[in-house]
Amino acid sequence: MIEGMDNRIYVDGGWQQAAGSDLIEVVNPATEAVIGTVAAGSAADIDTAVAAARAAAPQWASSSPEDRARILSGTADVLKARADEASALITAELGAPLSLSQRLHVGLPLSVLASYAELVMAYPFAEEVGNSVVWARPVGVVGAITPWNYPLHQIVTKVGAALAAGCTVVLKPAEDTPLIAYLLAEAFTEAGLPPGVVNVVSGRGPVAGQALVGHPDVDMVSFTGSTAVGRSIGAAAGGSLKRVALELGGKSANVILPGADVTKAVKVGVGNAYLNGGQTCSAWTRMLVHESAYDEAVALAAAAAEKYAPGDPLDPATRLGPMVNSKQRDRVRGYIEAGMAEGARLVTGSVDAPIDRGYYVAPTVFADVQPGMRIAQEEIFGPVLSILRYSDTDEALAIANGTDYGLAGGVWAATSEEASTFAAKMTTGQVDINGGAFNPRAPFGGFKSSGIGRELGRHGITEFVQYQSQQF
């Protein structure tokens, strides 16, 4: 089913025909060829899926942590056995270099599933507080709406945590990358997940997504995507007092303090900004450098950017694939034009297509960027890096905090203590200290317009529980 043309949805543990005949074409962004179709699910399909999730909810809510852990670890085992297939599928749908799909797009979700399988065994579902026992009960039926940029990882972070908490799920994956969601559904089935606990309905946001958010039998909506759509989902869910978890946009700062290893900070910073073609909500798209090291950092960034030449995602040497679709490509090019129009200095990059076929954008570096410019304030979601100058740490902090977003960031200093002291003043959800590695067990989420709630680790499970206290 995964490789062919189809008009089915995954409901109640199996495949069934969608209510309508409308289809969504899945396009390979590197070749612009249609690689498959999926159902454009309707409100009727969402009704069917939610009914299945509601019917399965009582039994799954009463399942033991051991049973949930077995399903989660079993799914990880199935997915690991199909890792090559999953990696190739993500590369075909998203355009990510195959090496990145193997290492990150599949490797990370495997780690996340394994972590939930362990954490659910130790989670405090019952806790004595004085003369009370406080129970963590599942929220109920969760509507999960996931993005295209990390299509498997973002599904696993939501669905894995919801299952660990005892919730059932209706998943609407992104229109551009729905096929990997169906592969995961097959993995859940093979691992023994009871029918109806996870259901998948592909579809368009204004139709299937809106129906899911507004459905009266959905108790919670977990969404990852743009801040604009997140606001509309929050408003719609508020009308029925649904709980929401919103992981939204970012404009993260990579702050290089005086005394830091500039060479390493710039190299890692460029890699972070260009990861996944720059299509990462937590990407460090603003590099803040003290005036004493500014010219050096700009030269280093330009040299590093040249190593990210766009290419065939199937070529092991490729580090930069295409944008996910033509609309995203045009959006990114529009920001490059805006940066030049506002007076930023184009160090490297271009609005011209670097490759004739495919939705490619040249890796771009801007210098002499002012904090108020659009390229320094708005989320671009492409391989565009803005380098800003500051004169002292107070100015650096003001620039770092001077956007509507607060998702991630990095700080580099002579010592980790100095970097941590600066990071503590940043209004952002997570900060890497001197290149600290991503931790899939630490909470991920943002401040301000970057969202509400947290994903991953124990905190991710907590998003999907509600508390009942019993007094004795």
**Which residues belong to the active site?**
247, 281
**First-to-last C-alpha distance (Å) of the chain:** 54
Rg (Cα) of the chain, in Å, rounded?
Answer: 22
**Residues 125, 190: Cα–Cα separation, whole Å:** 27
β-bridge partners, 412: 256
Angle at 281 between CA 278 and CA 283, to 5 degrees: 55
> Across the chain, which distance is largest between two alpha carbons, in Å?
72
CB atoms within 10 A of CB 205: 18
CB atoms within 10 A of CB 39: 25
Q: Which helix (H) or strand (E) holds 254?
A: strand 253-256
Whole-angstrom CA distances from 66 to 52, 62, 119, 169 are 23, 12, 11, 19
> 33: helix, coil or strand?
coil
Whether residue 144 contacts residue 244, with contact meaning beta carbons closer than 8 Å, is answered with no
> Could you write out the DSSP letters of every residue in 366-423?
EES--TTSHHHHS---SSEEEEEEESSHHHHHHHHT-SS--S-EEEE-SSHHHHHHHH
